[in-house]
Amino acid sequence: MTASSDRSATADAPILEIRDLTVALPSSAERPYAVENLTFDVHPREILCVVGESGSGKSVTSLATMGLLAPGLSIATGSIHFEGTYTLTLGARAHNKLRGDRMSMIFQEPMTALNPSYTVGEQVEEVFQTHRPGMAASERRARALALFEEVRLPDPKRLARSFPHQLSGGQRQRIMIAMALALDPKLLIADEPTTALDVTTQAQILHLLKQLNQHHDAGIMFITHDFGVVAEIADRVIVMRHGRIVEQGTAQEVLNNAQHPYTQALINAVPRPADTADEAPDDENVVISVGGLSKTFHTPAGIFKPARTVHAVKDVSFTVRRGETLGIVGESGSGKTTLVRCLMRLLKPDAGSMTIGGVDFANLPSQALREHRKDIQIVFQDPYGSLNPRRSIGSQLMQGPRNFGVPRDEAMARVKRLLEIVRMPANSVDRYPNQFSGGQRQRLCIARALAVEPKVLIADEAVSALDVSIQKQVLKLINDIRDEFGLTVIFITHDLRVAAQVSDNVLVMQNGDVVESGPVHGIFNDPQHAYTKALLSAQPGLDWDIPTFEGAEDRVALAT
Amino acid sequence: MLYFALQRVGVAILVAITVSALTFSMIYLSGDPALALAGEGASNEDIENVRRAYGFDRPIYEQYFNWLWNALQGDFGRSNYLKSDVATVIFERLPTTMLLGACALTFALLLAIPLGVIAAIRPNSLIDRAALTLAVVGQAMPSFWFALTMMLWFAITWRVLPVSGNSTWAHFVMPSIALGYYVTPAVMRLTRAGMLEVLSSDYIRTAHAKGLPRMKVLFKHALRNAIIPVVSLAAVQFGFMLGGSIVIESIFRINGLGFLAWESIQRADLPMMQAIVLVLSVFYILLTLIADLLNAFLDPRIRVS
Amino acid sequence: MSDATQIGTSIGNKGAREGTAPLQAGVPQPGALDATPGQKLRRRIFGHAGVVIGGTVLFIIVMMAIFAPLISPADPFDQELSKKLIPPVWSDSAKATWEHPLGTDHLGRDYMSRLFYGARISLLIGFSAMLISGVIGTVLGVAAGYFGGRVDMVVNFIVTTRLSMPVVLVALAVVSLVGSSLTVVIWVLGLLIWDRFAVVMRSATQQVRNLDFVASAEALGSSRWYIVSREIMPNILNHLIVVGTLEMAHAILLEAALSFLGLGVQPPEPSWGLMIAEAKGMIFFDSWLIVIPGAALFMLVLAINLLGDGVRDITAPENRK
C-alpha cells in the first residue's frame, strides 16, 4: 500500500463519470448484457483498479469509455461523461480527436499491440502527426525520444529505429506507455498491462506507472484480475462480477475489509504461503532422483552462418520423496519447459540420470521406455489443448490403462472411480471436451494422468490459465490427491506465490541453471541468491497482509 | 537477410536441377525415343542413325549432362518439325506470353484486391456476399468454356472485339480476362482473409486507440500488413498463368509459348516440348524466388533479424 | 485473455468458459447437455445453404451418371448424320424435337445421352484422381508435419519441385507421350495434383502435433501409429475433406481441359471437355453445343466446391457450439 490513499479524496472534479451504463450483448449471447448499471468516477491523479475474473465485463467497460466497442455490442442505457462532455453521441471524428490525445489506452498483449511493419519511433510519432498536424518533424522526433527517456528505455535513439519484433515484451509495453502518455492525456486506461509479462518485468512496469502517476495529471483506470497488483498500486478499487459492480471503495477498505462475499472469496483465492511445518526428511522414500540432467540445443552450422548452441538445462539435480511436492520456479526462458520435457522423456536429455523407482528413466531405450512411461505423468497448462476435441472423455481416459494391458471393463471402472475423485460426474465419459469449462478440463486431465497409477505427477503450469477462484480449487485437488495416493508431485510454475502455497521444497531456475533450492520456508524467508531475492521482491502486493474470510465461497455459491 | 536470400537461391537452384532431370526423363516416357523421333514407318537403319545422332546410345546420365550443359548455354537442340533452332523459336514467342500474363495479372489484381478489401471491411454485407459468390463461381468456371462464351458474345454476337490472333491490343482483352479471371478468386480470398485477420489484431486496436482516422487505420496499418502474402501469391499465380496460357492461347490463336507448346505436343516435337517445360519451370522458380525475397523485404520481421 | 475480445469474437462458445460460474467448477454447465454432437452437426449441415444446394446438385449429377443407361433417350454413340445438329427443344427452330431434348451434335448423336454418359467420365476421373493424389499428398504432408526436421525438408523440396512444373503442360506432354486412355489420364492427374493435399495436411498436422494432448498420449505410452491415427487424423479430417472436394473439382476441370485440347479422353467417348472441343468449330451458328456441356461442367464443379466450402464452414472451430 504505497500509493497514498488520501489523494483520491481531492476535491478535483472527476475526469470520467459513468452513470447507469448498460452494454447490450447480441441476442445470441448467453446473457443479455456485458455490463449492467455501472456507475463510477475516475478522478485526476488517482489509480482506480477494476478487478474481475474473465467474463466480468471489465474490458467492455474500458472499451466503451474509449468508444471502441466491438461491433455487435451496443450501449443500451446510461451515460459516459469525459471531462464534462457527453461522449456517447460523439461522431467518429470527434471521438478520434479525444483518443490518443485526451484519453489513451494500454493493452494486455505487448507482443501484438504494435504494428510489425513500422519502427516503434514512427508509431509513437504518429500520435503527434495525427493530433498536432502542425508540429515539425524534428520536434516530433525530439518529443518521441524524450518520451522514451521518460519511460526509461535504454538508448532511445537506437531504439526508436527498431521494429517491435526486435524488442522484449517489457520494452514493448514501455513503448505502449510512451505512446499513451505522448500528449499528456487526462485519462489513461490500462487493460491488464502486466498480465503477459514476467513477474520481474511486471514489477518494473508497475513501478513506472506509479512514478508517472506522480508527474502527470492523468487518472488511471487499471484493469486487472490480480489482487496482488491491486495492493501494489490502487488508490480505489471496483470489483466486478458478471457485468455488475459488486463492491467499490478505497484500496484500504476493499483489500482489508471486503464486504461482499465474492470479493472475500477472490481475496481468499490469492495464493499465500501454506503454514504447514516442514516434515522430517525421510530418505528411505525417495521416488525420483535426478542427477546432472542437461539438455543443449544445437542449431547446426549452415553454409553461411555459425552453429548456435543453447544450454536450455544445465546440470539440474534434485530428489523428491514420496508424498512430497517439489516446486520448480522460473520465468520465461528459464529452461523449466525443457526440463519438463526431459523429465517426461518427450526429449532425450544429453547427460545426467533420472531414477524413478530404481529405473534410470533418462537412459531407457525406446521399447523399455514405453513400459515405464506410466510411472511419470503430466498435467499441462492449456486446458483447451490438452484434451483431444474429437474423442469422448471416456475413450481418452481409458487409453492409458489400455496401453498397459488393463482389460476394457477394468479400465472403465478405474476411470469412473477417478472421475469421482476429481469430482466430475460419472456421465462425463460419454461427453466431449467442448462441453466442459477450463477448470473441469484440468480435472479431467488429472484423472487421465492418474489412470495409469503413476508414481510422479508433473503439474506444468497446470493452474496458470485458470481464473484465481478455479485455480485455488484445482490446487487443493492436487494436494488432496497427493496425500490420498502418496503421490510425488513436481509443480512447475512462474508464480512464486503459487509455488509457496503448494510445495515442500522449491527449486529456482534462471537461464537453465538452478540458482537456489531448498525447503520452501528457507527460500522465502532467507533467500541467498540475488535472482531469488529479485523474484521475491518483485511479487506484487508484498506489503499486504492478506486477510482470510471464512466461508465466503459458500455464501457466493448461495448468492448465484 | 543475406543468409535468408542465399539459402533461398540455393534451394531454387536445387529445385531447378531436379526439374531439369524430370524434364529430360520425359523423352523416355514413350519407350524408345529414337523410335518416336524417327517417325512411323522408319527403317531399322534410320532408327539407328537417329539413335546415334541424338546420342541415345550413350549412358543416360551422360545424355542428361550433355543436354543440361547445352541448355545452360541456351542450346535446346533443333526442332525436328520446324527444322530450326529451338531456343530461337522459344525466345521469339516468349514476349507474347509474358505480355498476356502481365495483362491478365493486372486485370486480376485490379479486380481482386479492391473487392477483397471492401469485403473485409464490411463482412457479411451485400458487397462481401457478391464478392464471395463471384469467387465461388469463378473457381468453378472452366477457363476454356469461359473463353469460348466470351468469344461468342463479344466477338460473334456483338462484334466488339476480334475473335483471335495477337496483332493489336484489342486481341489481348478477352484472353487477359479469361486467363486473369481464374486467378481472381484466390487473390480475393487471400486479401479478404488477410484483411480480416489484420483488422482483428491488437495493433489495429492500438491504432484506433491512438485516434487515427479510419482510412489511415485501414490503409496505412491494415492493408500494409495484409498485402504482404498477396504479393507472394500474385507472383506464384503469374507462374501458374504462364503454364495455363496453353489453353487460352490455343483458343484465341495467340502466337505465344502456350500455343507453341500445344502445336509441339501435337507434332510430337520432343526437343521443343522439353525446352518449353524447362523454360516455364525455371520461370516459375525465379518468380517464387522473387516472391520470397520481396516478402522478406516487405516484412521487417524477416528483413531485420 | 482479455474478456472483451472473448465477448466480441466468440460469444457462441462462451458458455463453456469460466465466466458463467467461476466458483462451481465441479458442476457441469446447464445447456451443455442439450444436444449431442451428432444432432448439432446435423443442424449445422441443414442450416447451411451452400451445403444444401451443392449437395442437391451433386446428388442429381451422380444419379444421372449412375442411371445413364436407363434415362438416356438414345445410345450416346449412335450416329445418324441425317439428324445432325438438331437444336434443343427451347430453340425457335422447326427442327427441334422432343425426341432429342437437347438436340444432336455434328454427327447426329443425341446430346442429352452424351451429357449423361459424360457425367460418368467426369465423376470417375475426378474421384479417382482425387483418391490417388489424396493418398500421396496426405502421406507426405502428415509425415512432414509429424516428424518435422529432415523429413519436413525433403517433403518441402518435393512439393516445391512439383509446383514448379506447369500442370497442364506436363499432363499434356505426358499423355501425348504415353498414349491417351482413361486410366492414363487418371494416373497422370493423380500423380500431378497432390501438392495442395501435402501443403494443407502438413500445416494441419504441425498444428495438432504441438497440442498437449499429443504429448499426453506419448507420455501414456501410446504407439506412434496410434497417435497418428487416433489423436491426429481425426483432428485434420475436416481439412482433408475440404481439400478433397477442391482437388476433385480441380481434377474434373483439368480432365475437361485436356480433353478439350484433344489429349484427354479420346473420341467417341462423351467427355464434356471433348464435347466442347468438338463443338468449337460450330460456335458461330450452333452455340448451344458449347453452352450445354460447359454449363453442366460448371454446375458440377460449383456443386463440389460449395460442398467443400460448406464442410469448411461447418467444421470451423468458431462455428462449433
Q: What is the DSSP string of A191-241?
A: ESTTTTS-HHHHHHHHHHHHHHHHHS--EEEEEES-HHHHHHH-SEEEEEE
d(CA A339, CA A507): 12
Q: What count of other Cβ atoms lies within 10 Å of the Cβ of residue A86?
A: 11
d(CA A83, CA A67): 15
A459, A471 in Cβ contact below 8 A?
no
Cβ of residue B216 closer than 8 Å to a chain A Cβ: yes
Distance from CA of C23 to the nearest CA of B (A): 30
Closest CB to B144 among C178, C276, C301:
C276
Find the Cα–Cα–Cα–Cα dihedral A273, A278, A283, A288, rounded to 10°: -10
- Could you report the predicted ipTM of this complex, rounded to two decimals? 0.88
Residue C26 has pLDDT above 60, yes or no: no
Cβ of residue C26 closer than 8 Å to a chain A Cβ: yes
Q: What count of other Cβ atoms lies within 10 Å of the Cβ of residue A484?
A: 10
* C104 secondary structure, DSSP code: B
Cβ of residue B9 closer than 8 Å to a chain C Cβ: no
Closest CB to A112 among B203, B213, B224:
B203
* CA nearest neighbour of B24 among B74, B76, B73: B76
Cβ of residue C315 closer than 8 Å to a chain A Cβ: no
pLDDT of residue C280: 82
Residue C1 has pLDDT above 60, yes or no: no
**Cβ of A115 and B207 within 8 Å?**
yes
Q: What is the pTM of this model?
A: 0.84
pLDDT one-digit tens code per residue, C208-220: 998 999 999 999 9
Cβ of residue C14 closer than 8 Å to a chain A Cβ: yes
d(CA A525, CA A70): 47
SS3 content of chain B, % helix, strand, coil (to 5): 80, 0, 20
Residue type, A449: A
Chain B, residues 187-246, CB within 8 A of chain C, namely: 200, 236, 239-240, 242-244, 246
C257, C131 in Cβ contact below 8 A?
no
Distance from CA of B154 to the nearest CA of C (A): 12
| Backbone conformation region of residue A357, classed left if phi is above 0, alpha if psi is from -120 to 50, else beta | left
pLDDT of residue B40: 66
Distance from CA of C294 to the nearest CA of B (A): 6
The whole-angstrom distance between residue C53's C-alpha and the CA centroid of its chain comes to 15
Cell numbers describing residue A369: 521406455
d(CA C125, CA C193): 13
Please, how many CA atoms are within 13 Å of residue A427, restricted to the half-sphere of its CB?
5
Residue C20 has pLDDT above 80, yes or no: no
Query: What does the pLDDT profile of chain A (560 residues) look like in tens digits?
Result: 444 444 444 457 899 999 999 999 888 777 888 999 999 999 999 999 999 888 888 889 999 999 888 888 889 999 999 998 898 888 888 889 999 999 999 998 888 899 999 999 999 999 999 999 999 999 999 999 999 998 889 899 999 999 999 998 889 999 999 999 999 999 999 999 988 888 888 998 999 998 888 888 889 999 998 898 999 999 999 999 989 999 999 999 999 999 999 999 888 888 776 655 555 555 568 889 998 899 888 776 555 555 677 888 889 999 998 888 999 998 888 888 889 989 999 888 889 989 988 888 888 888 888 888 989 999 998 888 899 988 899 999 999 999 998 999 999 999 999 999 998 998 889 888 888 888 899 999 999 999 998 999 999 988 888 888 888 888 889 888 888 888 899 999 988 888 888 888 999 999 889 999 988 888 888 889 999 998 888 888 888 888 888 888 778 765 55
**Cβ of A30 and C16 within 8 Å?**
no
pLDDT of residue A274: 62
Q: Which one is predicted more confidently, B49 or C6?
A: B49
Q: Which of A284-288, A368-372, C47-51, C118-122 has the highest mean pLDDT?
A: C118-122
Mean pLDDT of chain C: 82
- In sequence order, what are the beta bridge partners of A105? A189
Q: What count of other Cβ atoms lies within 10 Å of the Cβ of residue A179?
A: 27
How many helices (H) does chain A have, and how many strands (E)? 20, 20
The 10 Å CB-count burial string (b at 16+, else e) for A93-111 is: eebbebbbbbbbbbbbbbb
- Residue A510's SS3 state is strand
Q: What is the phi/psi pair of residue B98, to 5°?
A: -65, -40
Residue C228 has pLDDT above 90, yes or no: yes
- In sequence order, what are the beta bridge partners of A355? A289, A360
Residue C24 has pLDDT above 50, yes or no: no
- Residue A15's SS3 state is coil
Residue type, A127: V
Residue C189 has pLDDT above 90, yes or no: yes
Q: What count of other Cβ atoms lies within 10 Å of the Cβ of residue A277?
A: 7
Q: What is the phi/psi pair of residue A197, to 5°?
A: -100, 155
Q: Where are the extended beta strands (E) located within chain B?
A: 78-79, 84-85
pLDDT of residue A19: 94
Sorted by sequence, the CB contacts under 8 Å of residue B85 that are 6+ apart come out as B75, B76, B78, B79
* CA nearest neighbour of C226 among C241, C214, C208: C214
Distance from CA of C72 to the nearest CA of A (A): 45
**With contacts defined as CB-CB under 8 Å, which chain A residues touch C21?**
437, 560
Residue C135 has pLDDT above 80, yes or no: yes
Cβ of residue C21 closer than 8 Å to a chain A Cβ: yes
d(CA C72, CA B80): 47
- For B249-275, what is the HEC assignment? HHHHCCCCHHHHHHHHHHCCCHHHHHH
**Cβ of A380 and C215 within 8 Å?**
yes
- Residue C220's SS3 state is coil
d(CA A192, CA C2): 8
Cβ of residue B293 closer than 8 Å to a chain C Cβ: no
pLDDT of residue A331: 86
Residue C93 has pLDDT above 60, yes or no: yes
Residue with cell 471437355: C273
d(CA A546, CA A361): 42
**With contacts defined as CB-CB under 8 Å, which chain A residues touch C23?**
265, 469, 553, 556-557, 560
pLDDT of residue A555: 80
Cβ of residue B3 closer than 8 Å to a chain A Cβ: yes
Tell me the longest C-alpha to C-alpha distance in chain C. 86
Q: What is the DSSP string of B135-167?
A: HHHHHHS-HHHHHHHHIIIIIIIS--S-SS-SS
Cβ of residue B10 closer than 8 Å to a chain A Cβ: yes
**CA distances in angstroms from C285 to B157, C94, C288, listed in the order given:** 10, 15, 9
Closest CB to B149 among C163, C166, C294:
C294
The kind and range of the H/E element at B129 are: helix B126-140
C201, C138 in Cβ contact below 8 A?
yes
- Residue B246's SS3 state is helix
Sorted by sequence, the CB contacts under 8 Å of residue A493 that are 6+ apart come out as A327, A328, A329, A461, A463, A464, A499
**Residue B29: is it exposed, middle or buried by C-beta count within 10 angstroms (0-12/13-18/19+)?**
middle
**Cβ of C213 and A424 within 8 Å?**
no
Chains touching chain C, criterion 3+ CB pairs below 8 Å: A, B
* A257 secondary structure, DSSP code: S
Helices (H), chain C: 3-9, 37-46, 49-66, 68-71, 111-147, 149-163, 167-178, 182-192, 195-209, 212-219, 224-226, 233-260, 272-279, 288-315
**With contacts defined as CB-CB under 8 Å, which chain C residues touch B174?**
none
- Residue A77's SS3 state is strand
Please, how many CA atoms are within 13 Å of residue C317, restricted to the half-sphere of its CB?
10
Q: What is the phi/psi pair of residue B245, to 5°?
A: -65, -15
**CA distances in angstroms from A345 to A363, A462, B209, C274, listed in the order given:** 9, 19, 47, 60
- For A452-508, what is the HEC assignment? CCCCEEEEECCCCCCCHHHHHHHHHHHHHHHHHHCCEEEEEECCHHHHHHHCCEEEE
**Cβ of A117 and B225 within 8 Å?**
yes
The whole-angstrom distance between residue A201's C-alpha and the CA centroid of its chain comes to 13
Query: What does the pLDDT profile of chain B (305 residues) look like in tens digits?
Result: 677 788 888 889 999 999 998 988 887 777 777 776 666 677 788 888 877 777 777 778 888 888 888 888 888 877 777 778 888 889 889 999 999 999 999 999 999 999 999 999 988 888 888 888 888 888 888 888 888 888 888 888 888 888 777 778 888 889 999 999 888 988 999 999 999 999 989 999 999 999 999 899 999 999 999 999 998 889 888 888 888 889 899 888 888 999 999 998 888 888 888 899 999 999 899 998 988 888 888 888 877 76
d(CA C286, CA B33): 42
Chains touching chain B, criterion 3+ CB pairs below 8 Å: A, C
